[in-house]
């Protein structure tokens, strides 16, 4: 590993060569944005893309309130916030590099069709980004979580234009809208939002006969316990599938409970987080089925209503939700 000082020098030398360096609106001059749109007959320098919504250059205000000028549409994006991979794929903006490539991009089933055809250069873990590799990639845009930028933002800016994004939690629409603004695909982002809303509404109808049943989404924690997932798209009555949770279950989100705790909830249906990269979940289930009287007393187990569901369904993004709806319906033989 080269010394970091050497890296900084190299980065400074390449700064002027990398495309898309950030400028303030004052430095950039005449900026056309969706808010202050001026026709091309007046400016003579707008670039209108196929969806009719993109003009370049454009100004984007990122999660830290910084006004970033994108001179041209980004073509080589490095994604340092793995939770937002799917927003790029939904908008057909495949990154050239990213963090958590092995565990997320190549590990989640929903990305499998992409991973088989499109290589994403591995930049390491999200909290241990390989900045030398990032420099070699020569991106024209870096997307980073706010916390990451606060730690290494100065170094990132020496490589390429850097935009920060927030963790929106269960709100999958807001980040998709924001990525639409970044890439000049506002119309496409809204179309994808509408499509997913339709899928959720269709799922509600398909699941209407299960309105009196309770559902739990769990993950083995590696120590005989279970991590509780309260997935918004599953339980939200207004914007999700509106499935029923066992009494008290929604208060336990992201907490670990024992097998006895699961027994107290005693759900009608159990979906268990499955890591396709190993067979640990299958082995845990086999052990419970063969040796645990508490497990075998559960309604879901007695009625064979326990399903493994790939971890793709647990991230909360647009692709994850779409995958999760289909996976639930398929498990219940409704699709």
**Tens digit of pLDDT for each residue in 28-69?**
333 233 333 333 333 334 445 454 455 899 999 999 999 999
The whole-chain average pLDDT of the chain stands at: 87
Residues 256 and 207 in one domain: yes
Percentage of residues in the chain having pLDDT higher than 90: 79
**Tens digit of pLDDT for each residue in 181-205?**
999 999 999 999 999 999 999 999 9
Last residue of a domain, one of 194, 216, 240: 194
Span 86-96, mean pLDDT? 97
Instruction: Determine whether 222 is exposed, middle or buried from the number of CB atoms within 10 Å of its CB (0-12, 13-18, 19+).
Output: exposed
Peptide bond into 266 cis (omega under 30): no
Phi, psi of 230, deg, nearest 5 = -110, 90
CB atoms within 10 A of CB 242: 17
Residues 208 and 134 in one domain: no
Angle 318-331/186-206 helices, nearest 10 degrees?
20
| Strand ranges across the sheet with 306-310 | 256-257, 226-229, 215-220, 269-274, 306-310
Who's near 281: CB < 8 A, 6+ residues apart? Answer: 220, 272, 273, 274, 275, 308
If you ran DSSP here, which 8-state letter would residue 214 be given?
Answer: B
Q: What is the DSSP string of 228-288?
A: EE--HHHH-TTTS--PBPPTTGGGGTT-EE-HHHHHHH--SEEEEEE-TT-SHHHHHHHHH
Q: pLDDT category, 223, cuts 50, 70, 90? A: confident
The Cα 61–Cα 87 span in angstroms is 18
Residues 93 and 219 in one domain: no
Residues 43 and 157 in one domain: yes
Q: Domain with 118 in it: what CATH number?
A: 3.40.50.1980
Residues 49 and 156 in one domain: yes
Quote the pTM value. 0.83
Tell me the CA distances in angstroms from 331 to 216, 219, 300, 308, 309, one per residue in order.
14, 17, 13, 9, 9
The Cα 302–Cα 307 span in angstroms is 13
Strands annotated E in 41-154: 58-61, 67-70, 77-79, 97-98, 121-122, 124-125, 128-129, 141-145
The Cα 22–Cα 91 span in angstroms is 22
Last residue of a domain, one of 165, 194, 223: 194
Residues 180 and 271 in one domain: no
Domain ranges, residue 83:
4-194
**Tens digit of pLDDT for each residue in 120-138?**
999 999 989 999 999 999 9
Residues 180 and 241 in one domain: no
- Looking at residue 54, what is its pLDDT? 56
Residues 321 and 211 in one domain: yes
Q: How many domains does the chain have?
A: 2
Residues 40 and 153 in one domain: yes
Residues 108 and 178 in one domain: yes
Last residue of a domain, one of 163, 194, 225: 194
């Amino acid at each position: 590993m080269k010394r970091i000082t050497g890296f900084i020098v190299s980065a400074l030398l390449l700064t002027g060569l990398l495309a898309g360096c950030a400028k303030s609106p004052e430095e950039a001059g005449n900026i056309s944005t969706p808010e202050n749109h001026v026709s091309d007959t007046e400016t003579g320098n707008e670039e209108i893309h196929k969806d009719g919504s993109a003009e370049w250059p454009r100004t984007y205000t990122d999660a830290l309130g910084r006004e970033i000028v994108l001179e041209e549409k980004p073509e080589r994006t490095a994604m340092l916030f793995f939770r937002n991979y799917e927003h790029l794929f939904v908008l057909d903006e495949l990154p050239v590099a990213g963090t958590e490539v092995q565990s997320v991009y190549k590990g989640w089933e929903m990305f499998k069709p992409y991973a088989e055809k499109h290589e994403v250069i591995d930049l390491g873990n999200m909290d241990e980004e390989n900045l030398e590799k990032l420099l070699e990639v020569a991106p024209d845009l870096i997307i980073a979580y706010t916390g990451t930028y606060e730690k290494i933002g100065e170094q990132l800016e020496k490589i390429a234009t850097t935009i920060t994004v927030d963790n929106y939690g269960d709100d999958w629409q807001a980040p998709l809208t924001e990525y639409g603004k970044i890439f000049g695909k506002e119309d496409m982002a809204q179309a994808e939002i509408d499509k997913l809303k339709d899928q959720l509404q269709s799922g509600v109808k398909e699941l209407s006969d299960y309105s009196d049943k309770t559902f739990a989404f769990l993950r083995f924690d590696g120590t005989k316990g279970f991590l509780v997932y309260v997935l918004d798209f599953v339980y939200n009555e207004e914007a999700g599938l509106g499935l029923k949770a066992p009494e008290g279950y929604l208060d336990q989100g992201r907490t670990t409970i024992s097998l006895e705790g699961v027994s107290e909830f005693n759900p009608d249906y159990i979906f268990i987080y499955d890591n396709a990269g190993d067979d640990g979940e299958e082995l845990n289930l086999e052990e419970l089925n063969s040796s645990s009287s508490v497990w075998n007393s559960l309604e879901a187990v007695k009625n064979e209503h326990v399903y493994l569901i790939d971890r793709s369904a647990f991230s909360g993004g647009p692709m994850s939700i779409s995958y999760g709806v289909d996976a639930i319906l398929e498990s219940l033989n409704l699709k």
